[in-house]
Amino acid sequence: MTLTRKTLVPTTAALFALLISAAFLAHSDPTCVAGEQCIRSDEAADQSAPADPDPVAGDGGSTDEAEATYVVRPGDTLSGIAQSHGLAARALAELNGLRIDSLLHIGMELALPKAAPAPEKPKPQFYVVRKGDSLWRIGRRYGTTAPVLAEMNGLRLKAILPVGLRLQVPSGEGGGPASHGDGDSLVETALNYRGVRYRWGGMTTRGMDCSGLVARVLNLHGIDAPHNSRALYKIGKSVSRARLQPGDLVFFNTTGRGISHVGLYIGESKFIHASSRRGQVRVDSLTDGYYDRKYVGARRVE
């Protein structure tokens, strides 16, 4: 074919346009698509890559909190610990398989419900001994027991307290005096005298009679009590035999002339008393034929 000047110019121009277009395409981003916005390849890679996974918290173990524990300190009571953790004393006792009146031992670990708030450390509180005070009397005032006070202050349980002695006591009054309360504590004290010989009119470890034993135990616990079985029958409130609790006073007519004998009920149909027949402080059963027949009634000292 013969090219003329008229056909050569448009053909050259078209070829030149094709070369420029090819060069442009060679340097363009392959991700560009006609009719869409074009982005740089590194931006496309960033947008198409999956997001980083969230960092793993902890070691992958369970996030549930383990049950907290509390270590019993001097002066602690079940009700005091429960109150400081926002709990009911009975709930704390049940959680640890204890009775509501159980004695706590220093160093004992108590389980607490999950997420229980940490207790505030109580400030030390002190009491100055006055005339007539005893560990039992002071313990009742502060809602604790004589053994706890003795251990807190490095004293013997039967120590004589000089007037003016400064004793550390549990912080706060614990809601007021412990009720006769501590029937178990009365029993514990009375059992300390088991084996002491019988002595009419006595109320010491050298010898004691029935009302002497009971009056001594009550007095040690801060309860004013007369040294006479008939007079003891007039204090407190009457309790039926079916409702006897440890610490209740039990009375007998052993002479046929009214109240003549008294003891302290310790539970399971048993009582402790100073027996003139056996010559010592001992434990006997209310269901025993003799005492069953001679039984008159019982009183609970509040």
Domains of the chain: 68-112 (3.10.350.10), 125-169 (3.10.350.10), 183-300 (3.90.1720.10)
Task: Give me the sign of the Cα torsion angle 247, 248, 253, 257.
Answer: positive
Contact of 183 with 190, CB cutoff 8 Å: no
Span 31-67, pLDDT tens digits: 443 333 443 433 333 444 444 444 443 333 333 444 5
* Residues paired with 299 in a beta bridge: 238, 249
Angle at 189 between CA 188 and CA 191, to 5 degrees: 65
Predicted TM-score (pTM) of this structure: 0.47
Q: Kindly state the average pLDDT of the residues 189-204.
A: 92
pLDDT tier at 179, thresholds 50, 70, 90? very low
pLDDT at site 123: 67
241 CB contacts (<8 Å, ≥6 apart)? Answer: 286, 295, 297, 298
Q: Residue 280 above 90 pLDDT?
A: yes
pLDDT at site 77: 80
Q: Residue 171 above 50 pLDDT?
A: yes
* Residues paired with 298 in a beta bridge: 239, 250
Q: Kindly state the average pLDDT of the residues 155-170.
A: 85
pLDDT at site 78: 80
Instruction: Provide, rounded to the nearest whole percent, the portion of the chain with pLDDT above 90.
Output: 31
Task: Classify strands 270-275 and 280-285 as parallel, antiparallel or unpaired.
Answer: antiparallel
Span 207-264, pLDDT tens digits: 999 999 999 988 877 788 999 999 999 999 999 999 999 999 999 999 999 999 999 9
In degrees and rounded to multiples of 5, residue 146 shows phi and psi of -60, -40
Nearest to residue 129, comparing CAs of 101, 100, 99, 153? Answer: 153
Contact of 76 with 122, CB cutoff 8 Å: no
> Catalytic residues, which ones?
210, 261, 273
